[in-house]
Amino acid sequence: MYENVYLLDHTPNVIKSGDKYVVDYGSGSCTYEYRTIGKRIKQKVLLMTESNMGGVIDEVNKKSPLTEGDFKDLRMEIMNHSLYHVEKFIQHMGHHQ
């Protein structure tokens, strides 16, 4: 689990669109897809393929101005937060791949 500091007020909706999972924050979103990686040993991994979180970052920055270090922490929290929600959605839907 991750530490949720900046996204406390953000509960996204997860939508399955074809082979993609979109984590929708209203003012931003992250898109995940399963991708096969590896040459000798192939694995399917859930990979963030798109991120459009500028609106969410602006909202957080307006609430409490962010330093350069805060932006780095916020980007990491966005990755962890969105991945957590997409994995929870997949587990709930029973679409283990």
Do the domain assignments include residue 39?
yes
Do the domain assignments include residue 51?
yes
Domain count, the chain: 1
Model's pTM, two decimal places?
0.87
Do the domain assignments include residue 3?
no
Q: What is the pLDDT of residue 2?
A: 59
Do the domain assignments include residue 19?
yes
- DSSP H or E stretch at residue 84: helix 68-93
Q: Note down the domain range covering 63.
A: 13-93
Return d(Cα 91, Cα 10) in angstroms, integer: 21
Among 6-10, 21-25, 65-69, the range of highest mean pLDDT: 21-25
Return d(Cα 78, Cα 57) in angstroms, integer: 9
pLDDT in tens, 26-51: 999 999 999 999 999 999 999 999 99
Q: What is the pLDDT of residue 96?
A: 47
pLDDT greater than 70 at residue 20? yes
pLDDT in tens, 56-80: 999 999 999 999 999 999 999 999 9
